[in-house]
């Protein structure tokens, strides 16, 4: 092709001797020198290796021990092999788990807590009453409305919201303390909270959206939980329908299908593992 272009140009435009166009390479010149940069580099480093081998011969592989071979390789390369980690340790990660009411956020987090270490599950402060089985300081910090508003006043919360008539908010202090110790942070928020956190944290945190396999499954789950009044149930179901549209603002979507809680928790764990292996790490500052 190159030869054809060169020939046709020099034939059709005789007044142009085309000094800017180099002559096509001859077969001999092709054989004589390496053509591209990588071949040339290979050639050069192979030549260097051959020199090094002459001055520091590497013993026969079948006769030398591993440490003899290591020493010989080191002296050939004129450097020692470092046992330092090749990759720096990953940054502490902030994982935001959200989804419609009753989808299983608490249930998935409970499973995750059993299965993984080095995760800190931020305990949210709330002004709502305690549900049966909940423990203060473990499930939530249950505070009065006045106490909650005082925390807001002192700028102690990363984000807060009024949800179904009750306040919920994330204390900053806990996040800072645990991130300083190298823990990954799990935040459990409703969709409204996730939207606010996205604005504050942008891409420095990873956002997971939990969904049921269908709208029907979600409603059945809420009915079976038996923690809502008729009126609350209606509001939550209507809200959930609207909330599913927000999935596009999240990084990952995890289906928590009926009876498949373990699978959902495992998938969340795999997402955390993948995030820890990212080349460009997220870096959150609170």
Ligand X SMILES: Nc1ncnc2c1ncn2[C@@H]1O[C@H](COP(=O)(O)OP(=O)(O)OP(=O)(O)O)[C@@H](O)[C@H]1O
Q: Strand (E) positions, 110-264?
A: 119-121, 124-126, 140-142, 157-163, 166-171, 184-188, 206-211, 252-255
Any idea what the Cα angle at residue 208 is, between residues 211 and 259, rounded to 5°? 35
If the CB atoms of residues 8 and 227 are measured against ligand X, the closer one turns out to be: 227
CB-CB contact of 190 with 163 (8 Å): yes
Binding string, 204-243, against ligand X, x = CB under 6 A?
A: -----------------x---x------------------
Residue 91 Cα to chain centre, angstroms: 10
Phi, psi (degrees; rounded to nearest 5) at 126: -140, 150
236 is catalytic: yes
Interacting residue with ligand X among 94, 97, 105, 151 (CB under 6 A): 105
Give the residue from 136, 162, 138 showing the smallest Cα distance to 148.
162
Residue span binding ligand X (CB under 6 A) among the ranges 2-10, 81-89, 101-109, 146-154: 101-109
Q: Residue 132 has which token pair? A: 């049966």
DSSP count for the chain of H helices, then E strands:
11, 9
Interacting residue with ligand X among 76, 96, 97, 101 (CB under 6 A): 101
Residues 114-173 that bind ligand X (CB under 6 A): none
* Closest separation in Å from C-beta 129 to ligand X: 13
Residues 23-42 that bind ligand X (CB under 6 A): none
Residue span binding ligand X (CB under 6 A) among the ranges 3-11, 36-44, 73-81, 253-261: 253-261
Distance CA 106, CA 132 (A): 14
Q: Count Cα neighbours of 230 within 13 Å in the Cβ-side half-sphere.
A: 0
* Closest separation in Å from C-beta 74 to ligand X: 55
Is 107 a residue that touches ligand X (CB under 6 A)? yes
Residues 258-277 that bind ligand X (CB under 6 A): 258-261
* Closest separation in Å from C-beta 173 to ligand X: 23
* Closest separation in Å from C-beta 164 to ligand X: 9
If the CB atoms of residues 56 and 260 are measured against ligand X, the closer one turns out to be: 260
* Closest separation in Å from C-beta 225 to ligand X: 4
Given 3, 40, 113, 131, which residue is catalytic?
Answer: 131
Interacting residue with ligand X among 92, 93, 95, 102 (CB under 6 A): 102
* Closest separation in Å from C-beta 260 to ligand X: 5
Distance CA 30, CA 35 (A): 7
If the CB atoms of residues 127 and 256 are measured against ligand X, the closer one turns out to be: 256
Give the residue from 139, 96, 104, 138 showing the smallest Cα distance to 262.
104
Cα-only R_g, the chain: 32
User: What are the residues facing 126 on neighbouring strands?
Assistant: 142, 168
Distances in Å between the alpha carbon of 73 and those of 2, 180, 245?
A: 44, 41, 59
Residues with catalytic roles: 131, 225, 236
Binding site for ligand X (CB under 6 A): 99, 101-107, 221, 225, 256-261
């Amino acid at each position: 092709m190159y030869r054809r272009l060169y020939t046709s140009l020099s034939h059709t435009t005789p007044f142009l001797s085309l000094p800017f166009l180099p002559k096509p390479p001859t077969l001999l010149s092709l054989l004589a020198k390496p053509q591209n940069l990588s071949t040339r580099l290979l050639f050069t480093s192979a030549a260097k290796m051959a020199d090094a081998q002459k001055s520091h011969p590497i013993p026969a592989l079948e006769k030398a021990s591993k440490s003899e071979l290591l020493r010989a390789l080191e002296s050939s390369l004129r450097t020692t092999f470092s046992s330092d980690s090749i990759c720096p340790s990953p940054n502490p990660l902030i994982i935001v788990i959200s989804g419609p009411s009753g989808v299983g956020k608490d249930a998935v987090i409970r499973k995750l807590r059993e299965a993984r270490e080095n995760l800190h599950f931020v305990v949210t402060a709330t002004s709502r009453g305690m549900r049966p089985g909940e423990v203060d300081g473990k499930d939530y910090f249950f505070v009065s409305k006045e106490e909650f508003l005082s925390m807001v006043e002192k700028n102690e919360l990363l984000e807060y919201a009024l949800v179904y008539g009750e306040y919920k908010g994330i204390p900053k202090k806990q996040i800072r303390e645990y991130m300083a110790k190298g823990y990954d942070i799990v935040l459990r928020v409703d969709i409204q909270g996730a939207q606010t956190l996205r604005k504050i944290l942008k891409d420095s945190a990873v956002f997971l959206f939990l969904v049921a396999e269908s709208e029907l499954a979600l409603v059945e789950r809420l009915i079976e939980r038996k923690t809502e009044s008729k009126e609350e149930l209606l509001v939550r179901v209507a809200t959930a329908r609207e909330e599913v549209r927000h999935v596009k603002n999240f990084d990952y979507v995890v289906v928590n299908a009926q009876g498949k809680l373990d699978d959902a928790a495992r998938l969340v764990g795999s997402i955390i593992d993948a995030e820890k292996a990212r080349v460009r790490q997220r870096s959150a500052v609170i």
